[in-house]
Structure 1
Amino acid sequence: MRAIGGLWRWRHNPLRRATDLAEAWVALATLVLIVCVAPVVGVVVGTAAADALRRSVHDQQETRHRVTATVVRELDPSPLDVDPEAAAAAPPRSRVLAEWTAPDGSARHGPVLTVADSPHPGDRFPIWTDEHGRTVARPLDAATAATHAVLAGTGAALAAAALAEGARRLVVWRMVRRRYARLDQAWEQAGPDWGRTGTGS
């Protein structure tokens, strides 16, 4: 980490410039931010995400219901049917016309996805619906919510650390540019007389 490397400029050295000491202070401030502030940011963001996801888990478990659907007939696959639970390694799903009874007792039917390879009329399978019988995604579970909260907190901490390091690099870059600009100005003043006998006498 460059922030730690910049601390070597604290050493007492007769050749140490004022900008070297300034870089050391910038490196120290960055190190404090990375070690102390970034974890706090991660905890705050992770806690806020966990609270929000916990409420979402509770709401979804209250409003989403698992019901049993019956296959009426198989339908042709449609590219518009996207299963939110599908993953790259998930088994292929079949699109069927099914009917089911909503939690409010009303009869429902419509196209849904089933994991059966070759569904037949009369096959039964579980689906998730809201109170009115509309199909919805599976409710979020507590373990998945906790994983998302941890990832959010970790990402926030890493982003804070990266922001501190980026700010340090920007400050040091500007300091180096000013240092070279002053060196160029000094060289312009001394350059024409460089090497001439009696210069400076």
Structure 2
Amino acid sequence: MRAIGGLWRWRHNPLRRTTDLVEAWVALSALLLILLVAPAVGALAGAFAQDSLQQSVREQRASRHAVTATVVRKIDGSLLEADPESASGRDTRTRVIADWTAPDGTAHHGAVLAGLDSPRPGDHFAIWTDTHGRLVARPLDSATATTHAVLAGFGAAVVTAGVVEGVRRLIVWRMVHRRYVRWDQAWERAGPDWGRTGTGS
């Protein structure tokens, strides 16, 4: 709004300098870019991220499988660890030795994190593996992918607005700097004769 007010104020003002009008136009252009271009960039970035992430969701769902593992024994001295894949981040898991069967039918045995507070031999729990039984992270869910896409779009819009504002500030700073340089030059020319009688001042 200040940009519009600046243009209106300088429209027919006899004290208006060219730089004043240019500065007002730069401010108005930056405002329009922030209001129109930044949201468009954010929407495009969000849509691109959504497509890419949803494709990852589909691929992970096709290649990762939930299988049931059986506790063989708890690893001695194992500590409860926070599960980084859990929604709350508060779920704890214990390292155990377990057996499981891969989707391709092969048997596996190894150390895994069990979602059990007090695992005992014979307890069952779910783990995620690929087709060949190798341990993998839980697949990305659609809602989380959408959240990441929204955040990516919002971030792109904010960055675009920041770049536009940064360019506006740089242009105005250069204009003000040149204005001060011209003032200094004018004062240097007028300085020796300033206030003397008969010099036309």
Using the size of structure 1 for normalisation, the TM-score is 0.91
| Amino-acid identity (%) | 63
Q: Against the structure 1 CA distance between its residues 88 and 70, is the aligned structure 2 distance closer, same or farther, given a 3 Å change threshold?
A: same
Shift of 1:77: 3.7
Q: In the alignment, which residue of structure 1 is the partner of 2:176?
A: 176
Contact 1:103 1:133 in 2 (8 A): yes
Counterpart Cα distance in 2 of 1:141 and 1:89: 16
Q: In the alignment, which residue of structure 2 is the partner of 1:122?
A: 122
Shift of 1:91: 2.5
Q: Against the structure 1 CA distance between its residues 190 and 88, is the aligned structure 2 distance closer, same or farther, given a 3 Å change threshold?
A: farther
Q: In the alignment, which residue of structure 2 is the partner of 1:30?
A: 30
Are 1:105 and 2:102 matched, yes or no?
Answer: no
Are 1:5 and 2:10 matched, yes or no?
Answer: no
SS of equivalent residue, structure 2 residue 32 = helix
Contact 1:84 1:137 in 2 (8 A): no
Q: Which moved more, 1:113-122 or 1:62-71?
A: 113-122
1:58-100 CA-partner distances (Å, limit 9, x unpaired): 001111100001111112448xx99541577412221111110
Counterpart Cα distance in 2 of 1:126 and 1:105: 16
Counterpart Cα distance in 1 of 2:144 and 2:88: 18
Q: Against the structure 1 CA distance between its residues 90 and 126, is the aligned structure 2 distance closer, same or farther, given a 3 Å change threshold?
A: same
Counterpart Cα distance in 2 of 1:99 and 1:148: 35
1:84-117 CA-partner distances (Å, limit 9, x unpaired): 4157741222111111000000001111112212
Q: Which runs of 5+ in 2 are unaligned?
A: none
SS of equivalent residue, structure 2 residue 152 = helix
Q: In the alignment, which residue of structure 2 is the partner of 1:61?
A: 61
Counterpart Cα distance in 2 of 1:150 and 1:123: 40
Are 1:188 and 2:188 matched, yes or no?
Answer: yes
Using the size of structure 2 for normalisation, the TM-score is 0.91
Q: Which runs of 5+ in 1 are unaligned?
A: none
**How many aligned residue pairs are there?**
197
Counterpart Cα distance in 1 of 2:5 and 2:14: 14
Contact 1:97 1:111 in 2 (8 A): yes
Counterpart Cα distance in 2 of 1:45 and 1:108: 42
Shift of 1:123: 0.9
CA RMSD after TM alignment: 2.0
Shift of 1:131: 0.4
Contact 2:34 2:164 in 1 (8 A): yes
Q: In the alignment, which residue of structure 2 is the partner of 1:49?
A: 49
Q: Against the structure 1 CA distance between its residues 190 and 46, is the aligned structure 2 distance closer, same or farther, given a 3 Å change threshold?
A: same
SS of equivalent residue, structure 1 residue 93 = strand
1:125-181 CA-partner distances (Å, limit 9, x unpaired): 001100010111111111111111111111101110111001100110111101100
Contact 1:71 1:119 in 2 (8 A): yes
After superposition, where does 1:114-153 map in structure 2 within 5 Å? 114-153=114-153
Q: In the alignment, which residue of structure 1 is the partner of 2:74?
A: 74
Shift of 1:7: 3.8
